[in-house]
Amino acid sequence: MLSQALKSLLRPDKRVVVLTGAGISAESGVPTFRGEDGLWKKFRPEELATFDAFISNPQLVWEWYEYRRKLISEVKPNPAHHSLVKMEEYFENFHLITQNVDGLHQKAGSKKVIELHGNIKRNKCIKCGRELEELEFSSKEIPPKCTCGGMLRPDVVWFGEMLPAQAINEAYKVSSLCDIFFSIGTSAVVYPAAHLPVVAKQGGAYLVEINIERTELSDLADEVFLGKAGEITPQIAKAIREA
């Protein structure tokens, strides 16, 4: 199933970068954003995922994130997440970049994860910027308030906002320097994340895509696996054990 070219690259000294999107968590039961059952088919991002939306209707936005937090707290990592833990252990130079805010990579055991779009479990104060974990506030107000009086918001990147500088800078750096780049379960339409595989390819990396359907990236990829992340990623992890 894996090409000879890819198999021959799966050596511990190769520099590997993996970019994941909502599709990797789909088999865990976390809805994706686009596609038939996607969140953006049922909800309007401009009413829920922008700073202006939060200021005009903080309760609604907070409650939508509470609903997603509850959903995420009840799901488990799937074989794709677990396979990436194996890959992190195997490759000496391995970087996992995710657009997901669900924390499932960490739950599976991935040690180092570059989170481009934040993490839904964390909150931050819109006034003083203080970061707080979900359980660190006792206020019953919705949304809860920081000790400085400012409203707390989920620490995720909303439309129109900058990505965390350190995360995106590191993501660009490792992508430009890698030998193999895996794009797993992302529609590859949201920038700047969607630019990373392109940068990797320009830097000479072997580009592999895993997705249930073709994406904007497929024509650029050296190898496209059309299938579920939870089925294909374990095959890659198996191949490294046999390499």
Structure tokens given for 50: 């922008």
- Contact residue for ligand OAD among 213, 216, 226, 243 (CB under 6 A): 213
Residue 211, Cβ density class (10 Å: 0-12 exposed, 13-18 middle, ≥19 buried)? buried
- Contact residue for ligand OAD among 16, 26, 167, 237 (CB under 6 A): 26
Instruction: Give whichever of 141 and 213 is closer to ligand OAD, judged by the CB atom.
Output: 213
The residue range among 52-60, 87-95, 146-154, 209-217 that interacts with ligand OAD, by the rule CB under 6 A, is: 209-217
183 touches ligand OAD (CB under 6 A): no
Residues of this chain, 101-120, that bind ligand OAD according to CB under 6 A: 117
212 touches ligand OAD (CB under 6 A): yes
Instruction: Give whichever of 65 and 94 is closer to ligand OAD, judged by the CB atom.
Output: 65
Cβ contact 229:80 at 8 Å: yes
Question: Alpha-carbon distance 195 to 23, whole Å?
Answer: 18
Instruction: Give whichever of 43 and 111 is closer to ligand OAD, judged by the CB atom.
Output: 43
Minimum CB distance to ligand OAD, residue 147 (Å): 28
228 touches ligand OAD (CB under 6 A): yes
Q: How many residues bind ligand OAD (CB under 6 A)?
A: 25
The residue range among 54-62, 104-112, 185-193, 195-203 that interacts with ligand OAD, by the rule CB under 6 A, is: 185-193
- Of residues 81, 105, 117, 195, which has the active-site annotation? 117
Question: Alpha-carbon distance 57 to 84, whole Å?
Answer: 38
Minimum CB distance to ligand OAD, residue 241 (Å): 22
27 touches ligand OAD (CB under 6 A): yes
* Number of neighbours of residue 235 by Cβ within 10 angstroms: 14
Question: Alpha-carbon distance 15 to 95, whole Å?
Answer: 8
Instruction: Give whichever of 77 and 185 is closer to ligand OAD, judged by the CB atom.
Output: 185
82 is catalytic: no
Question: Which residue minimizes CB distance to ligand OAD?
Answer: 23
Question: Alpha-carbon distance 191 to 194, whole Å?
Answer: 5
The residues binding ligand OAD (CB under 6 A) are 21-23, 26-27, 32-35, 38, 49, 99, 117, 157, 185-187, 190, 210-213, 215, 228-229
Catalytic residues: 117
